[in-house]
């Protein structure tokens, strides 16, 4: 726990306590030594001007009763991780404008982040241009369509639209109860209950057209059912897992593979030869195969046999493009 987190936690403990807080309890809460507690107390009292009082029975600290309710930590206190996330968010919003996707809606949020960063820097401007967020594979989404879809999700209204399947190009009319919007790999997807098919489906928002919110209230699917259907297997179009894939990464790629998060239920271990074994559940093999094959000769599918055979076919077809 860094100093910023300790100061925040220390302030919360002292400001909410009705009685003096013992030193030992503060050591446990802050996960630090007695000396560190006393240094943080001194910083809180002498630098931040907190109304800290020392007590003897028990040996501890409290805020002066007549000032405790009025005292707040000055400015904005952010941990390094929170600050980095705020800077990254600022850059993501910057990429949406001016004139970009949802620029008008996001501009107030960006302005507020500018204010928060300025407060954190003591009124100075943060050089946010020093942070870059690079996206790839982002598909063009119609702004009016996105607003209609997002509005239906938030207002809990059924939604009708035309959907053009990416694989076949066929267009169908859908009537759905939207459940949630998902931002995955720089693109937006709608998770919804399809009334005609009586099942959960995920729709790529960039393939939706003529979206119209209906007067009928959306049918809510329990969160647990959504996660079971849409998050239990690998990739965006997951469904319930049908099998577990086992992939071996060469010793050269092992360290990188071991640090990648492919799925919440993944299992991994280093093997005696220095390679890395990754196991994860999947339903639709298409997206999983794309991610495995990008590693080239450094990734080998061990099982199941069906997935291994699919990879062999894909590689043979690719090789055929370069023959002759």
Please report the pLDDT score of residue 132 as a whole number.
Answer: 67
Q: Rounded to whole angstroms, how far apart are CA atoms 37 and 1?
A: 13
Same domain, 120 and 173: no
Residue 35, CA distances (Å) to 22, 47, 184 in order: 14, 18, 46
Q: Classify residue 136: in a domain, yes or no.
A: no
**What CATH number corresponds to the domain at position 41?**
1.10.10.10
Q: Classify residue 294: in a domain, yes or no.
A: yes
Q: Classify residue 257: in a domain, yes or no.
A: yes
Residue 299 backbone phi and psi in degrees, to 5: -130, 135
Q: How far is CA 264 from the centre of its chain?
A: 12
Please report the pLDDT score of residue 194 as a whole number.
Answer: 95
Please report the pLDDT score of residue 187 as a whole number.
Answer: 82
Please report the pLDDT score of residue 128 as a whole number.
Answer: 65
Please report the pLDDT score of residue 98 as a whole number.
Answer: 47
Q: Classify residue 237: in a domain, yes or no.
A: no
What string of pLDDT tens digits covers the 324 residues of the chain? Answer: 677 778 888 888 888 888 889 999 899 888 889 899 999 999 888 878 888 998 887 788 989 888 777 787 765 555 555 665 666 666 666 655 444 555 555 566 666 667 766 665 556 666 666 666 666 677 878 878 888 898 899 899 999 999 998 878 899 999 999 999 888 877 889 999 999 999 999 999 999 999 999 999 999 999 888 877 776 665 665 667 889 999 999 999 998 999 888 888 899 999 999 999 999 999 888 889 999 999 999 999 999 999 999 999 999 999 999 986
Q: Rounded to whole angstroms, how far apart are CA atoms 189 and 184?
A: 7
Containing domain of residue 163, as a range? 143-228
Q: Classify residue 69: in a domain, yes or no.
A: no
Please report the pLDDT score of residue 84 as a whole number.
Answer: 58
Q: Classify residue 235: in a domain, yes or no.
A: no
């Amino acid at each position: 726990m860094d100093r910023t987190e300790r100061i925040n936690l220390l302030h919360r403990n002292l400001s909410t306590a009705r009685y003096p807080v013992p030193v030992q309890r503060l050591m446990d809460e802050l996960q630090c030594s007695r000396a560190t507690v006393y240094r943080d107390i001194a910083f809180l009292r002498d630098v931040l001007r907190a109304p800290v009082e020392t007590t003897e029975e028990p040996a501890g600290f409290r805020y002066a009763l007549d000032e405790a309710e009025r005292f707040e930590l000055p400015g904005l206190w952010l941990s390094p991780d929170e600050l980095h996330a705020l800077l990254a968010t600022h850059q993501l919003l910057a990429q949406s404008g001016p004139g970009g996707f949802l620029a008008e809606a996001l501009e107030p949020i960006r302005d507020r982040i500018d204010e928060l960063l300025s407060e954190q820097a003591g009124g100075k401007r943060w050089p946010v241009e020093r942070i870059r967020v690079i996206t790839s594979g982002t598909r063009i989404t119609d702004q009016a369509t996105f607003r209609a879809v997002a509005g239906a999700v938030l207002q809990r209204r059924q939604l009708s639209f035309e959907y053009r399947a990416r694989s076949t190009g066929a267009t169908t009319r859908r009537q759905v109860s939207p459940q949630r919007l998902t931002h995955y790999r720089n693109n937006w997807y709608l998770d919804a209950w399809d009334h005609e098919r009586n099942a959960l489906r995920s729709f790529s928002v960039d393939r939706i057209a003529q979206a119209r919110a209906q007067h009928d209230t959306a049918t809510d699917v329990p969160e647990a059912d959504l996660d079971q259907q849409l998050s239990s297997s690998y990739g965006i179009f997951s469904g319930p897992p049908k099998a577990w894939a086992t992939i071996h990464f060469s010793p050269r790629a092992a360290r990188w593979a071991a640090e990648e998060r492919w799925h919440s239920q993944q299992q991994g271990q280093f093997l005696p030869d220095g390679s890395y074994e990754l196991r994860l559940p999947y339903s639709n093999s298409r997206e999983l195969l794309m991610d495995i094959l990008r590693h080239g000769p450094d990734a080998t599918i061990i099982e199941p046999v069906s997935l291994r055979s699919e990879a062999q076919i894909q590689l043979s077809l690719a090789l055929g493009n370069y023959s002759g």
